[in-house]
Structure 1
Amino acid sequence: MNEKIAIVCTLIDAENVIDSFIKYHTYIGFDHFFLFFDRPNDPSISKALKYHNVTIIQRNTDLEEKWKETNNYHKFKYFINTEVMARQVLNASVATKMSLENNIDWLLHIDIDELFYSPNISLKKHLHQLKEKKVNCIRYLNYEAIPQKFDINDYFREVTTFKKHPNLVEKYKLVQDKNYIISYVNGKSAIRIDHNEYGKNLEPIGVHSFQEHEYYINDFPIILHYYSCGYDNLIKKYQTLGDFSDKWFDKKEIMTQIPFHINARDIIKKLDKSEIKKLYKSNIMLFENDVIEYLIKSELFCRIESPKQILELLKQ
């Protein structure tokens, strides 16, 4: 089980969590990180420089030239300046080539507010078993975090409550509500780099997928998504995103799939603190603590303490 495993991530303004992101994933078995900083001279770059297993790529003319060498460039080039997802896909495309050059066996594409979580099997053993099964691409379900307070600095250390993926709790009426999972439900993917030469079969087809037909796991491992955890983090996120379009890539209506994304954009750009607090409390914190505890006992929600415990251990 000598697989060399890497993460590709596009990030911005991650000073509060970048250390935890790198330390946690290194601890559980990831060997390398390709971190694409979406803003030149991002303050968190100085923190990333401390780690020997991190490749730092800034958004500049050199990166733009590398984008042009990818198979995905012609599909996404018109959206580079308006769609963060276009840049994420192009960065992941560049990372597949870098992975080949660095003898990486597996590449996972996640965001800076996500953690890979595998409670029952080590990362190395899990991916080795997939390789033995001749699985070349894997999709993981996502759980979405529920912060239980407004003020959060490092959500990886402070948030431990999660909504289970709808596929696992279909019997509950609540999961049919579009505000049950307010971000995405289609998981995140990893691809086996060593199964093919660099080209069309390795580059992602979107931020969630590397291939059209992927091997799904309806259980652990999973992706823990700490979406907009913290009142200030919510505001900062949507101020950074700005007044984006109502459609993804001028095609798909966002409101029909992720209404919170549009509602958050519109409320936050008005800078009405009372409305933003109401949005945060009703959509992100979701319920009062006693209701949260009841839903944990009902197994709709769950507590996952392991990442917090690992990070506390590494801090000692």
Structure 2
Amino acid sequence: MSPAWFAHEDVPLAEMWADDTYWLIQYLDGLLPTPFVGRFRFKGHEGADSWVVLESAVSSLAPPSIPRALDGCTPLPGAAMIVSTVSFRKAPGGSARPLESFIRFHLLKGFARVLIFVDSAEDVAVLDVVRRFPRSRVLFRVRGPELLAEQKSRCPSFSALAPFMDSEVSARQLLDAEYAMDAAPALGCFWLVCLDSDEFFFTSEASVVPHFEALAAEGVSQMTYLNHEGVPELVETPDYFATTTLFKRHHFAVPLSSQARGCLRFWMDRSKRSQYLLFFDNGKSACRTGCAAKPKSQHLWQLPSGHRSCTGLADPRSLDVEGYRSCSDPCILHFPICGLAWLQGKYQTLGSFPDAWLGKVPLFESFHKDAREAHAAGDEALKALFFREVMLDDPIEVERQLASGTCIRILEHTQLLNATPLTPREATATGCPERPRQISDATAGPMDEGPQGIERGWIMSKAMGFL
């Protein structure tokens, strides 16, 4: 149709693109605040199929609680920024769909900014995603000579980390965090949270802003949060954020009971290394900007003297009684390998990483190292590892884990993303492969031996709240 003016009530939606029905009138009526994003899946690209919308999602990126005055101002206490170093070049199908969910979730939860460091200029899927969002909210930098020169001039740790940048993603993450900490105040952000692109800073509240305002009012400069680890119930998924709802609770948050102990043992017995959480168990932190903090790791910042650091981990390994602050919400939801193809892509990206972190700290024997070796041995070895230690598709065991409080079912993030999680039965109908279930022994007898592995920390953590 030719361009023409129409009265508000006479907009000819039937003659326009099919997706216009889902957002245009809401926008004109003032019911969809800007900026907003939308995603639509059509039955086909041509003819009648191009008028059939199979999936739709339209969301405003401007919750009322977001601090609005960001540029050229003193950072507001509730304004927080997410920073993440990402690579999706080896992702299944070359898709960066989870990154879209990652950005959208954090903007919808009230984060003022998201800063993405793109590991390669050839990662076109990532660049396509970040360019869909308003530049006022989502910033990105691409790894290359220009960024390298800036980090050399702005990051005190550059000389120490530069030798490891090509071989270890950790070195790049630390430099990116240091750069973001330096840049955040000028971007109007009072808090900085470093996350991987398979993690959510999750809260059941509508916005993170009141939480960060409360921390600032209490004089807290760093807060460390519990992390819970996603458990895939499907072999494959296009977006682990949209389909994963089952999580192993951090063992410090698991209730003290014989039932929970049996469920912890279930996971430890599945693991070659007797691990419960297959990846990290030391949480992730939010840190105040403008206080000269330096990253100690991807998880923790080194604060200057006189600044208060708190933790939600009742961790007997550190016995930080003075810094302990009960905090179950917010928390970190970790989706490390929630799908076989994502496991394969992760270790293809990481490659043959060294046995010591930044040439200093030896990596202990763990699932992480086993996955590296399995990837080197071939897809079948990695597939066997996934089915043996990662995936749980036994509904009886799932219910036992949930009933004991060892695992938790969280749906809020999928609802916010307008996603519909698939059950294993539904996954088969949509073409995702399903393997035969191996029913576990849910009636295991009593365990007479003493505490094993993380059980000591699990038991001792219960005393932290009383000290």
TM-score w.r.t. length of structure 2: 0.63
Q: Does 1:48 align with 2:108?
A: no
Q: What is the aligned counterpart of 1:22 among 99, 103, 118?
A: 103
Note if contact 1:254-1:261 (Cα within 8 Å) is conserved in structure 2. Answer: no
Contact kept? 1:189, 1:208, Cα under 8 Å: yes
* 1:215 aligned partner: 310
Amino acid of the structure 2 residue aligned with 1:208: H
CA contact (8 A) 1:148 1:289 kept: no
Report the equivalent of 1:193.
289
2:293 aligned with 1:202: yes
Match of 2:411 among 305, 308, 311: 305
Q: 1 CA distance for matches of 2:185 and 2:194?
A: 15
Q: In 1, are the aligned partners of 2:79 and 2:212 still within 8 Å (CA)?
A: no
Question: Residue 50 of structure 2 aligns with which residue?
Answer: none
Cα deviations across residues 247-304 of structure 1 (Å, max 9, x unaligned)?
2122322234xx101100101122142x222211122114623211111011100000
- State how far apart, in whole Å, the 2-side matches of 1:189 and 1:57 are: 22
What do the CA deviations read for 1:56-79 (whole angstroms, capped 9, x no partner)?
A: 100001111122121221332221
Which whole-Å deviations, capped at 9, do the CAs of 1:108-141 have from their partners, x for residues lacking one? 1101000111125731110100000000111111
Q: Distance in 2 between matches of 1:168 and 1:24?
A: 24
The question of 1:179 aligning with 2:275 is answered yes
Query: What SS is found at the alignment partner of 2:295?
Result: coil
Question: Alignment partner of 2:184: what SS?
Answer: helix
State the percentage of identical aligned residues.
29
C-alpha contact (below 8 Å) 1:255/1:261 kept by paired residues: no
Task: Give the stretch that moved more between structures: 176-185 or 297-306.
Answer: 176-185
- Corresponding residue for 2:169? 84
Report if aligned partners of 2:254, 2:406 keep a CA contact under 8 Å in 1: yes
The alpha carbon displacement at 1:170 in A equals: 6.7
What's the CA shift string for 1:190-222, capped at 9, x where partnerless?
11114x3xxxx3231211112267311242210
Which residues of structure 2 form unaligned runs of 5+? 1-64, 68-77, 89-94, 269-273, 313-326, 421-467
Residue 313 (structure 1) shift:
7.1
Kindly provide the CA deviation profile for residues 76-118 of structure 1, in whole angstroms up to 9, marking residues without a partner as x: 2221111100100000111112212212111111010001111
Q: 1: distance between equivalents of 2:147 and 2:193? A: 20
Does residue 34 (structure 1) correspond to residue 115 (structure 2)? The answer is: yes
Q: Distance in 2 between matches of 1:79 and 1:47?
A: 28
Distance in 2 between residues matched to 1:186 and 1:287, nearest whole Å: 27
1:1-316 → structure 2 map (5 Å cutoff): 2=67, 3-13=78-88, 15-43=96-124, 44-52=126-134, 53-69=137-153, 70-120=155-205, 122-169=207-254, 171=256, 172-173=260-261, 175=264, 177=268, 178-194=274-290, 196=291, 201-211=292-302, 214-217=309-312, 218-256=327-365, 259-273=366-380, 275-286=381-392, 288-312=394-418
Name the SS of the counterpart of 2:104 in structure 1. Answer: helix
How much has 1:154 moved relative to structure 2? 0.4
Give the distance between the partners of 1:276 and 1:50, measured in 2 at CA. 34
Question: TM-score, normalization: structure 1?
Answer: 0.91
Distance in 1, matches of 2:255 and 2:377, equals: 36
AA in 2 matched with 1:223: I
Please tell me the residue identity of whatever aligns with 1:216: T
The residue type equivalent to 1:204 in the other structure is P
* Structure 1 gap segments, 5+ residues each: none
- Larger relative CO (CA 8 A, sep 6+): 1 or 2? 1
Asked if structure 2 preserves the Cα contact closer than 8 Å seen for 1:137 and 1:211, the reply is no
Q: Conserved in 1, the CA contact under 8 Å of 2:249 and 2:408?
A: yes
State whether residues 224 and 283 of structure 2, in contact with CA within 8 Å, keep that contact through their aligned partners in structure 1: yes
Match of 1:55, SS state, is strand
Whichever residue aligns with residue 167 of structure 2, its letter is T
